[in-house]
Chain A
Amino acid sequence: MNTISTRRTTPRRLGLGLVGGIGALALAACAGTTDAGSGESGSSAASSTVTLVTHDSFNVSEDVLAAFEKESGLTVKQVAPGDGGALVNQLVLTKDSPLGDVVFGIDNSFATRAIDEGVLAPYTPEGLADSAAQYAIGDGALTPVDLGDVCVNVDHSWFADKGLAEPVTLDDLTKPEYKDLLVVTNPATSSPGLSFLLATVGAYGEDGWEGYWAKLKDNGVKVVDGWSDAYSVDFSGSEGKGPRPLALSYSTSPAFTVSEDGTSTSTGALLDTCFRQVEYAGVLAGAENPEGAKKLVDFLVSDAFQADIADNMYMYPANADVALPEGWAQFAPLSPKPFEVAPADITAHRDEWIKAWTSTVIG
């Protein structure tokens, strides 16, 4: 230990050098952050920036967004603090000091909670297509932007190899020949999971759905936490090549398993097992830039944005007149008659249904 003084400078100098290096990096980081965040302070900037609160699935082509920004003179800032229920609950928590000006991504299973909590300021955009207007709720508080079906997906080749007929209905899934073949997601942790729970409520009624799940459980349904887990690990039709040929996913998912030549797809959606998810946008109550917010909502229902939805978010545009990508009609059709539950019923019973589901299926 007595040699401590002879070499002490080496580690110290190294330490200082390291701290210095990191300091320089950090300064660069500061500069970067300030750049990215510029225009959010000061009152003059407020009117030119509009903040969109959304989920992490939100996406739009760069040129479409740039055209909107140029035309409106607005800069769109995006924040993505969560999705599904978490997004709505965050808006409820922050309603006295909202996270932004516009929200996109509230779906019909949480829509009325957001409306009842007074998170939104009513605004009906001009030029909302009639096909979209049928989904509007809350007297203009929420504007429908896109929709899609959550359905059980099936791995065609697995059933072909086994020589087994594919199931068609929800009832089929409880039959012994399909034992241990289905994987779904948990409604308490995943939004497709909640949609599928609602599909069963729509199909069997408030008194019958728990009995259906008891049968599903007896038939070996597997429940996992999230979509990526179910689809990528358990489902045999995905890249993960898992063990189960039936998985809860979206009706658009088969468009991603189309063969190289584009003539067939190796998976399909069971269109008699679907629940329709509608995603809404709305102006947030207390928005700093309400005028910009209205323009942004107008943009979300405009033809330019609606035409961009399918390719970027795997959902159907709410405006039914907008053209869909090639192959969707063939490989990713919407269900002709999805199961339905009224949004107000969902809000009134959602938590109680999830708890009942948890005790029935998880125990």
Chain B
Amino acid sequence: MDVDGDRLSMMPVSRGVPAAVQRGGRVLLWGLAAGLPLLFLGVFFAWPVVTLVARGFVTQDAAGASLDLSGFAEVFSEPRTWRIIGLTLWQGVLGTVVSVLLGVPGAYVLYRCRFRGRTFLRAFVTVPFVLPTVVVGVAFRSLLVEGGPLGFLRLDGTFGAIVLALVFFNYSVVVRTVGGLWEHLDPRAEEAARALGASPWRAFRSVTLPSLAPAIASAASIVFLFCATAFGVVLVLGGIQYGTIETEIWIQTTQFLDLRTAAVLSVVQLVVVVIALSVANRTRSRRERALNLSAATSAARPLRLRADAVPLAVTAVVVLGLIALPLVNLLVRSFQTPAGWSLANYANLGTTGGRNALTVTVWEATANSLRTAALATLIAVVIGGLVALVVSRRPRSRTGRRAISALDSVFMLPLGVSAVTVGFGFLITLDKPLGLDVDLRTSGLLVPIAQAVVAIPLVVRTVLPVLRAIDPRLREAAATLGASPARVFAAVDGPIAARSLGLAIGFAFAVSLGEFGATSFLARPDTATLPVVIFRLIGRPGAENYGMALAASVVLAVLTATVMMVAERLRGDRSAGEF
């Protein structure tokens, strides 16, 4: 036995195991890698959503259950429905186009140029993305309202205000997704084009832009989903006259319990989302190619005031005007009290608010938030990482490719389905699911799971472009040299993916910290998270509670920025000068 063992261990694994067994093992492993995420998404997303939507189409009467699709005709015959669909698409398209137009120069400045304070700035632009909408709504509206600092723009309650707010939220998605790829793009191709006489614009357009296309398409598809399904921000800034499919589903479900109308609208929303995803997928795959990736430090160069004037100016206007202004407004107001400027609002965070507005102190809620977000991040990174890994493969067979592209889209769906549908779906499916003796709906365990469902698509979209950009020849070379698939993964995919993993962890953590959709339906006052207590404080009268809500929002913003900064550092750019 000893001898056998020795001989085996000296032999390359590929020769020690019959090929068929090896292939079987590999299929099993990939099956597991794809199956675990599918199971997770199936139980915690598809089942609740499908069950709730099905209730809208099934009528129970004396004769038993029967399928009733008359809701479609009814809902579509109302002109309001068409207006809502139109507004949803408009908002999605406008929000996406503006975010991309402003975000690409931002990605250049923040990821391709070196300057002092870059890490801080990168984290700073992410803050809006995770602030609860009720806070953003107040921060934005108090700027835009008549008599406010920007009241002269007369934007309050207009469509323009909604689009601006959508860009405010989603700018960082574009900057980060595009920047994450851009900073690793080998600059030599562009330099060669320049050396051959191309203008900077020409070199950008014909060399850099095509290489960035997968990341831009990725970012645009996420941003479109966020814009087209935006809920809180639309209600706060535009009111019901700019209602979208999402706000209408919310009203029909929570206020009217008209599940028939809600179900029809959910199907419409799903169709919009699937179309958007497949367009994005097609753009991505047409453009997709293995890129020459280099270390970030070698690709970045010092910021040049003159040569980089255009992207620099665009970024400065966006960062100062659109992002900093509402946040600074929030910060300044958090120091205001009826008695003048003071730190009282922050000192109050150790209390439960004026007249006990809360069950826990804000600091306790912060600890709850951190704990839940950590758990949610763990789930999201494991599941999202597996999805990215499976989806990054390029099988030879057409069926294989189709399956993979379907898998890719399926995991984006949580971004495109209404939080209220998920939340109400949880309520009717997850009482003692799978034979467990725990009512998941009220146990508190569901909160990190709900957050993870939302964070998974972001993890996938962050890790995937990097994995896909790995030159397959690297893997082939490793395999030819006798490395087992596991070894190839450890030596090729792993190190490159790890760099994007830090960012994915940051994103997942930050999103989980700020999640206030499905979470709000699962809230337990004794384990309330930070966004939940902020929402609660701002919903109470009294200067003390209002001030505390602002201070707590600042805490959430600082926490988010810190998480993103740490994630940024952990990517290891500095420690790994080259790899």
Separation in Å of the A243 CB from the closest CB of chain B? 4
Are B255 and A8 closer than 8 Å at their CB atoms?
Answer: no
Interchain pairs with CB closer than 8 A, number: 248
Are B251 and A8 closer than 8 Å at their CB atoms?
Answer: no
Q: Which of A35-43, A123-131, A160-168, A206-214 contacts B (4 or more CB under 8 A)?
A: A35-43
**CA of A68 to CA of B144 in the docked complex: distance in angstroms?**
48
Which residues of B are found within 8 Å of A243, using beta-carbon distances? 145-147
Separation in Å of the A335 CB from the closest CB of chain B? 18
Which residues of A are found within 8 Å of B356, using beta-carbon distances? 59, 61, 311-312
Q: Which of A78-86, A136-144, A197-205, A290-298 contacts B (4 or more CB under 8 A)?
A: A78-86
Which residues of B are found within 8 Å of A29, using beta-carbon distances? 371-372, 374-375, 448
Are B292 and A14 closer than 8 Å at their CB atoms?
Answer: no
Are A14 and B381 closer than 8 Å at their CB atoms?
Answer: no
Contact with A along B477-495 (1 / 0, CB 8 A): 0000000000000111011
Which residues of A are found within 8 Å of B93, using beta-carbon distances? none
Q: List residues 134-160 of chain B with CB under 8 A from any CB of chain A.
A: 134, 137-138, 141-142, 145-147, 157
Which residues of B are found within 8 Å of A223, using beta-carbon distances? 239-240
**CA of A90 to CA of B538 in the docked complex: distance in angstroms?**
24
Q: Is A18's CB within 8 Å of the partner chain B?
A: yes
Q: Name the one of B444, B535, B538, B539 contacting A36, with C-beta atoms under 8 angstroms.
A: B444
Are B498 and A12 closer than 8 Å at their CB atoms?
Answer: yes
Q: List residues 409-466 of chain B with CB under 8 A from any CB of chain A.
A: 424, 427-428, 431-432, 437-439, 441-445, 448
Are A28 and B371 closer than 8 Å at their CB atoms?
Answer: yes
Q: Which of A171-179, A226-234, A271-279, A337-345 contacts B (4 or more CB under 8 A)?
A: A226-234
Q: Name the one of B146, B499, B546 contacting A11, with C-beta atoms under 8 angstroms.
A: B499
Which residues of A are found within 8 Å of B538, using beta-carbon distances? 228, 232
**CA of A239 to CA of B378 in the docked complex: distance in angstroms?**
40
Which residues of B are found within 8 Å of A186, using beta-carbon distances? 239-240
Are B526 and A36 closer than 8 Å at their CB atoms?
Answer: yes
**CA of A185 to CA of B505 in the docked complex: distance in angstroms?**
39
Are B255 and A89 closer than 8 Å at their CB atoms?
Answer: yes
Q: Name the one of B491, B525, B540 contacting A8, with C-beta atoms under 8 angstroms.
A: B491
Q: Name the one of B142, B239, B354, B448 contacting A225, with C-beta atoms under 8 angstroms.
A: B239
**CA of A36 to CA of B471 in the docked complex: distance in angstroms?**
49
Q: Is B355's CB within 8 Å of the partner chain A?
A: yes
Q: Is A354's CB within 8 Å of the partner chain B?
A: yes
Which residues of A are found within 8 Å of B255, using beta-carbon distances? 84-86, 89, 188-189, 354
Separation in Å of the A361 CB from the closest CB of chain B? 9
Separation in Å of the A167 CB from the closest CB of chain B? 20
What is the chain B residue whose CB lies nearest that of A91? B427
Q: Name the one of B256, B448, B523 contacting A79, with C-beta atoms under 8 angstroms.
A: B523
**CA of A15 to CA of B371 in the docked complex: distance in angstroms?**
20
**CA of A99 to CA of B442 in the docked complex: distance in angstroms?**
7
Q: Name the one of A18, A93, A225 contacting B240, with C-beta atoms under 8 angstroms.
A: A225
What is the chain A residue whose CB lies nearest that of B499? A11
**CA of A272 to CA of B521 in the docked complex: distance in angstroms?**
36
Could you say which of A7, A29, A85, A252 has the most chain B C-beta atoms within 10 Å of its C-beta? A29
Q: Is B542's CB within 8 Å of the partner chain A?
A: yes
Are A10 and B576 closer than 8 Å at their CB atoms?
Answer: yes
Are A1 and B474 closer than 8 Å at their CB atoms?
Answer: yes
Contact with A along B496-524 (1 / 0, CB 8 A): 00110110010000000000000011111
Q: Is A195's CB within 8 Å of the partner chain B?
A: no
Q: Is A336's CB within 8 Å of the partner chain B?
A: no
Q: Is chain B's interface secondary structure helix, strand, loop, or mixed overall? A: helix
Q: Is B303's CB within 8 Å of the partner chain A?
A: no
Q: Is A324's CB within 8 Å of the partner chain B?
A: no
Are A238 and B427 closer than 8 Å at their CB atoms?
Answer: no
What is the chain B residue whose CB lies nearest that of A16? B498
Q: Name the one of A18, A59, A90, A249 contacting B357, with C-beta atoms under 8 angstroms.
A: A59
What is the chain B residue whose CB lies nearest that of A244? B146
**CA of A101 to CA of B487 in the docked complex: distance in angstroms?**
55
Separation in Å of the A90 CB from the closest CB of chain B? 6
Q: List residues 206-262 of chain A with CB under 8 A from any CB of chain B.
A: 222-229, 231-234, 238-240, 242-243, 249-250, 252-253, 256-257, 260
Q: Name the one of B253, B571, B579 contacting A3, with C-beta atoms under 8 angstroms.
A: B579
Which residues of B are found within 8 Å of A5, using beta-carbon distances? 491
Could you say which of A100, A188, A228, A312 has the most chain B C-beta atoms within 10 Å of its C-beta? A228
Separation in Å of the B311 CB from the closest CB of chain A? 28
What is the chain A residue whose CB lies nearest that of B255? A85
Q: Is A66's CB within 8 Å of the partner chain B?
A: no
Q: Name the one of A92, A253, A314 contacting B257, with C-beta atoms under 8 angstroms.
A: A92
Q: Name the one of B251, B354, B375, B570 contacting A14, with C-beta atoms under 8 angstroms.
A: B570
Which residues of A are found within 8 Å of B374, using beta-carbon distances? 22, 25-26, 28-29
Q: Name the one of B145, B358, B572, B578 contacting A234, with C-beta atoms under 8 angstroms.
A: B145
Which residues of B are found within 8 Å of A25, using beta-carbon distances? 370-371, 374-375, 378
In this complex, the interface size class of chain B, counting residues with CB under 8 Å from chain A, is 35 or more
Q: Is B541's CB within 8 Å of the partner chain A?
A: yes
**CA of A1 to CA of B291 in the docked complex: distance in angstroms?**
12
In this complex, the interface size class of chain A, counting residues with CB under 8 Å from chain B, is 35 or more
Q: List residues 89-131 of chain A with CB under 8 A from any CB of chain B.
A: 89-90, 92-94, 97, 99-100
Which residues of B are found within 8 Å of A100, using beta-carbon distances? 442
Which residues of A are found within 8 Å of B532, using beta-carbon distances? 56
Separation in Å of the A254 CB from the closest CB of chain B? 9
Q: Name the one of A28, A252, A256, A363 contacting B241, with C-beta atoms under 8 angstroms.
A: A363
Which residues of B are found within 8 Å of A320, using beta-carbon distances? none
Which residues of B are found within 8 Å of A99, using beta-carbon distances? 427, 441-442
Which residues of B are found within 8 Å of A306, using beta-carbon distances? none
Are B579 and A82 closer than 8 Å at their CB atoms?
Answer: no
Q: List residues 330-347 of chain B with CB under 8 A from any CB of chain A.
A: 336, 338
Q: Name the one of B445, B524, B547 contacting A78, with C-beta atoms under 8 angstroms.
A: B524
**CA of A310 to CA of B522 in the docked complex: distance in angstroms?**
27
Q: Name the one of A81, A94, A227 contacting B428, with C-beta atoms under 8 angstroms.
A: A94
Are B498 and A56 closer than 8 Å at their CB atoms?
Answer: no
Could you say which of B240, B370, B499 has the most chain A C-beta atoms within 10 Å of its C-beta? B240
Which residues of A are found within 8 Å of B427, using beta-carbon distances? 81, 90, 93-94, 99
Q: Is A30's CB within 8 Å of the partner chain B?
A: yes
**CA of A23 to CA of B505 in the docked complex: distance in angstroms?**
12
Q: Is B405's CB within 8 Å of the partner chain A?
A: no
Q: Is B107's CB within 8 Å of the partner chain A?
A: no
Which residues of B are found within 8 Å of A249, using beta-carbon distances? 541
Q: Is A358's CB within 8 Å of the partner chain B?
A: yes
Separation in Å of the A95 CB from the closest CB of chain B? 10
Q: Is A33's CB within 8 Å of the partner chain B?
A: yes
Q: Name the one of A79, A232, A362 contacting B138, with C-beta atoms under 8 angstroms.
A: A232
Which residues of B are found within 8 Å of A12, using beta-carbon distances? 490, 494-495, 498
Q: Name the one of A18, A240, A260 contacting B546, with C-beta atoms under 8 angstroms.
A: A240
Are A56 and B142 closer than 8 Å at their CB atoms?
Answer: no
Contact with A along B243-273 (1 / 0, CB 8 A): 0000000010111111000000000000000
Which residues of A are found within 8 Å of B359, using beta-carbon distances? 59, 78
Which residues of A are found within 8 Å of B525, using beta-carbon distances? 56, 58, 78, 80
Given contacts A59-B357, A243-B147, 9 further A-B contacts (CB under 8 A): A1-B292, A7-B578, A11-B498, A25-B375, A36-B524, A51-B442, A79-B522, A243-B145, A256-B541
The residues of B with any CB-CB pair to A shorter than 8 Å are 134, 137-138, 141-142, 145-147, 157, 235-236, 239-241, 251, 253-258, 292-293, 336, 338, 354-359, 370-372, 374-375, 377-378, 381, 424, 427-428, 431-432, 437-439, 441-445, 448, 471, 474, 490-492, 494-495, 498-499, 501-502, 505, 520-527, 532, 535-536, 538-543, 546-547, 570-572, 575-579
What 7 pairs between A and B have smallest CB-CB spacing?
A: A15-B498, A25-B374, A86-B254, A29-B371, A256-B542, A225-B235, A8-B495
Q: List 29 A-B contacts (CB under 8 A).
A: A7-B578, A7-B579, A12-B490, A12-B498, A15-B501, A18-B505, A22-B505, A25-B371, A25-B375, A26-B374, A28-B371, A28-B374, A30-B375, A33-B371, A37-B444, A40-B442, A41-B437, A41-B438, A42-B437, A57-B539, A85-B256, A223-B239, A224-B236, A226-B539, A228-B138, A233-B142, A256-B354, A358-B240, A362-B239
